[in-house]
């Protein structure tokens, strides 16, 4: 089995996110730790945290918080890098209020500095914030390779992990739309892609999946998500991903273009496909 859920709005409160996901029929969820514009956060009351922790005991898988899009740990601008590092540090402190979950983020865009410099800056940032006491695992997301995004291939992610001291605190979030858009043939050779992931990074580091179809063809580097089965990956591929033995036990997060009813339907569909 897999855990399934979608993104929810943290402004509703932690406990409310838990109840909403129970109502949707899922058993995991994601949320953006900050609103994309301001990047500010407000204090979370202890009783709200306790509220969610109580709900999570009723059979939830690991949660997958998502760091802000504005966080670019390998920016060429040192102020942007500092801001990113500050957000990352504070987000990870806050994650410890919900011990043992995942914090996923986009590795960053190197702009004109080149891949090597970008990878080095990201690893350097991780080495500054990861600590032995933390119970959260930080997940690098596989990226579509739009612009100068780091994470467009497994080798780049491996390289970041190699340069990180506390490797046990780092994993990967496998975004199916991004990986396809980056050029990996999930539709034609899913086994081959996962074997390659295992060879380069190790499937033990694949901790979570962003389950999305893609509006564009393989290798498009576009990053436009589509509803399950309605994009270029298609229904059969999505079914195969959900049921793949190497991916069982992971939280799967929908990031498909849906309203509330759409997510409820997709969660139900995933459950059906999972049990076939």
Which residue ranges make up the site for Zn ion (CB under 5 A)? Answer: 223
Name which of 115 and 255 has its Cβ closer to Fe ion. 255
The candidate with the shortest Cα–Cα distance to 254, out of 245, 263, 242, is: 263
Cβ of residue 33: shortest distance to Zn ion, in angstroms?
17
Which partner, Fe ion, Zn ion, none, binds residue 223 by CB below 5 to 8 Å per kind? Zn ion
Q: Which stretch binds Fe ion (CB under 5 A): 49-57, 74-82, 146-154, 172-180?
A: 172-180
* Binding pattern for the stretch 102-141 against Fe ion, x by CB under 5 A and - elsewhere: ---------------------------------------x
Question: What distances in angstroms separate CA 129 from CA 90, 103, 210, 264, one per listed residue?
Answer: 9, 13, 24, 37
Q: How far is the CB of 146 from Fe ion (least distance, A)?
A: 12
Residue 58: helix, strand or coil by DSSP? coil
User: By C-beta, is 55 or 173 nearer to Fe ion?
Assistant: 173
Alpha-carbon distances, residue 21 vs 17, 27, 258 (angstroms): 6, 7, 15
Rounded distance between C-alpha atoms, residue 48 and residue 50, angstroms: 5
DSSP string, 42-54: -PPPHHHHHHHHH
User: Which residue in 7, 81, 210, 239 binds Fe ion (CB under 5 A)?
Assistant: 210
Residues 235-264 that bind Fe ion (CB under 5 A): 255
Choose the contact partner of 210 out of Zn ion, Fe ion, none; CB within 5 to 8 A by kind. Answer: Fe ion
CA dist., res. 210 & res. 204, Å (int) = 17
Binding site for Fe ion (CB under 5 A): 141, 175, 210, 255
């Amino acid at each position: 089995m897999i855990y399934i859920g979608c993104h929810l709005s943290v402004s509703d409160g932690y406990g409310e996110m838990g109840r909403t996901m129970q109502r949707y029929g899922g058993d995991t969820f994601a949320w953006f730790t900050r609103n994309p514009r301001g990047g500010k956060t407000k204090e979370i009351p202890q009783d709200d945290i306790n509220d969610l922790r109580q709900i999570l005991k009723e059979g939830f898988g690991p949660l997958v918080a998502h760091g802000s899009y504005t966080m670019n740990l390998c920016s060429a601008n040192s102020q942007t890098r500092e801001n990113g590092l500050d957000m990352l540090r504070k987000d990870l402190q806050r994650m410890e209020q919900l011990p043992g979950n995942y914090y996923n983020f986009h590795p960053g865009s190197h702009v004109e500095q080149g891949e090597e410099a970008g990878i080095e800056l990201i690893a350097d940032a991780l080495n500054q914030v990861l600590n032995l006491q933390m119970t959260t695992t930080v997940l690098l997301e596989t990226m579509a390779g739009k612009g100068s995004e780091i994470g467009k291939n497994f080798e780049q992610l491996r390289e970041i992990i190699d340069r990180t001291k506390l490797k046990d605190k780092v994993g990967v979030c496998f975004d199916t739309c991004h990986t396809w858009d980056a050029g990996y043939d999930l539709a034609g050779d899913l086994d081959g892609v996962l074997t390659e992931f295992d060879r380069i990074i190790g499937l033990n580091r694949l901790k979570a999946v962003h389950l999305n179809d893609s509006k564009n063809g393989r290798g498009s580097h576009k990053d436009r998500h589509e509803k399950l089965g309605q994009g270029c990956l298609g229904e059969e591929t999505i079914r195969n991903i959900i049921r793949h033995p190497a991916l069982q036990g992971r939280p799967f997060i929908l990031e498909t273009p849906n309203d509330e009813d759409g997510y409820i339907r997709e969660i139900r569909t995933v459950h059906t496909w999972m049990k076939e």
